[in-house]
Every structure is written in structure tokens, then in C-alpha cells.
Amino acid sequence: MLIVADSKIPYLEGVFEPYADMRYLDPGEITPETVRDADALIVRTRTKCDAALLEHSRVGIIATATIGTDHIDTDWCGTHGVMWENAAGCNAASVAQYMTSALLRVSLRHGLDLRRKTLGIIGCGNVGTKVAAAAAALGMNVLLNDPPRVRWEKLTGFVDLETIQREADFITLHVPLRGAEYGPDRTEHMADEAFFRRLKRKPFFFNASRGDVVDEPALKEAIRKGLISGAVLDVWHNEPEIDRELLSLVELATPHIAGYSADGKANGTAMAVEAVVKKSFLWINDKFYLHDMRPLRESIQQVKADILAKVPAPANPVVTLDPASPHPFADAVFASYDVAEDDAALRAAPEKFESLRGSYRVRREFPAYTVRSDKPMPSVFRDTLLKLGFHLA
């Protein structure tokens, strides 16, 4: 079996080598010529998997080590017998960590008490659900909006978009990118001029889903007119060639790295490996091929555990709080991840958007850290840290 894999997918090398021929390529090198003889692809969002890439190949399975799937032409794959699978939820905790850091940074800059504020979450899948739990741990009131889930799963406790536009002090988007063909579930440019005009409380606006969910000219106008109090963007239209004017207007700007924790990347790799292993028996050109990966299938949980074990420990895994600090909780969060560092890096060199992602530092999630203090922590403070995933000394 020949597997072509994006060379920037971490912790993958060595997993398949005993059972398959591996070809590791930079995203720009994954072309119709280099995948022609491949049976499987393991990719990220930077590889467009469509007819132009796949039509004359024998690819039978695409595993993307990402949550998003808008880089895969799923309709074409479905009609041409190409199976595909994404790593749903792999970096949900990473995005929740990003949002926790961003909410705290914004609140400190503007002197806000998050415990008195309402967060409206639009899109409540794996990521939105984790963000809701983190916001609740911070003491925020949380409003959930996800019409497709409500309709399909008959869920309760959700609100309509108008309620969020009327009551939220912070609004965050965690939806997949869906075009006009999805009818009422379309998300492309859902945050348009009309969306911002209907906001009642001048909320802070966050987008860590997909860039084209937001109409960027409308967002710029909303910032200029004071329809929102500020914006935090991790994703952009036309990445990596982002709008420099918009960059100058937003509160916090990052290069599509909200889900880029080392933990999330390892999860994505492990899920992509599992997808290929489970579907290593393929129909290709009306012929049945059985790729003998029984040893991997039988040990897939151990293989996944081995991948996760490759994630390096943080440089400073123990966070010692300063008893004199006015914001000890924020200190603990920023010791694990401070969104302001990524904001500064992007503003200093926006032309390096892609390389900032490609060479992103090792970032560990909250459970990789232990928080200690020389003074007893208030029980509420301790409970919040535990709910976010920190360990306590």
C-alpha cells in the first residue's frame, strides 16, 4: 500500500512503515503526479482534495488530521468511491484553551468582570461544547445556538440567533463552512452587514472557525461604526494573504492556530491513522484490494497511545502563583498559553502567516500543567482551575 502524507503532520513517521510504503511531501508537492499511484492520502487543510488532484489516481481513502473538511470535495469523492474521514473533535480542547486566554486578555484590557457577562456561542459541536464548558468554568452565562443540531437531535436549552444578538456581551463562532447549497444551514458570510446591525449590546466578536464565515468588509464597518466593542480573529478570508487593514483594526489577531496545541495535533494524527487502518480494505476501479494491516488494527489503541506519548512536556510544567498578583487566575492561564504572544508575532510579520503556522511552537493544553500557591487558594478559584483541566499541587 502506498500512502502519501503531508510532511508537516507531526508524530506520523514510523507508524505505517512496517506495513506500507510512505511518501512524505510538503503540501505544495502533493500534486496529481505525486498521488497518481497512491492508495491513501493523509492531509491537512492546505491540500485541496478534489477532481483536479484525484481524478486520475487510485486514491481510495483520504484521512485529514483536522476537524475541517471544506478542503475535501466530499460530493466528488462520494460519486467516485473515495472514502474520507476527518478528525472530528481532535483539537476542541485546544480551541477552548485559546478562547479562555482570549476572553481573559480582552477582559483585563477593558476592565471587565467575566462573571457578569454573557457569551453567545454559535455552533455547538465538539469545539463549541468545549468552549461552553470553559466559559461556564469562568463564571460566564452561556447562550447556545445550533439550529441544525436542535432540528436533528431534538435538543433543548438552545436559543435562536436573535436572542444571542440581543443579549450577548461576547459572541463566538464555531461553525463549519457551508455554502448556499446548504440552504438554511448556510454559514458562508453568516456574519454579514445585517448580522452586525442587529447586535444590541456592542459585543466583542470572536471567530475561530473558518474565515469565510465572516463578511470581512462588513466586519470592518462594524468596528468603525462601533457596532461591536472589538474583534478577535484566528481565521481569515484568503489565507495566508490576509487583509492588513482588518489586521490593524482587530483586538487580537492570530494566524489560524487556535487548534494548534501539540495535544490537538497528536490527536488529529492518531485519528487519521485509525481512519486509514480501519479502511485499508478498498474498492478501487471496481476491484477489491485488501491491505494487510491486521497487526495495526489489532493494536490501534496502543498505536494511538504511542502517538500521544510523543508529545513533549512543557518547558515549565509547574505554575507557581505570585500571592501578590492582582490576577492570579489569569496568570495561571497565561503561563500555559498567552494569546497575546501569537498576536504580537502576526502583527510583526503578517507576510509570514504560513510560516508562523508551519513552525508553530510546542503548546500544551491545561492538563499538562500543575498549579501551586504558597497561600491557600479560595475554593472557587481551585474549582475553576480543576474544571479547566489544570492539576493542583
Catalytic machinery residues? 210, 239, 256
Asked if 70 and 176 touch (Cβ cutoff 8 Å), the reply is yes
Residue 28 makes CB contacts below 8 A (sequence gap 6+) with none
Report which of 158, 174, 167 is spatially closest to residue 140, judged by C-alpha positions.
167
- The number of angstroms, rounded, from the C-alpha of 80 to the middle of its chain's C-alpha atoms is 29
Q: What are phi and psi of 264, to 5 degrees?
A: -65, -40
Amino acid identity at 302? Q
How far apart CA 135 and CA 103 sit, in angstroms, is 9
Q: Are strands 2-6 and 40-43 parallel, antiparallel or unpaired?
A: parallel
| Residue 229: all three cell numbers together | 466593542
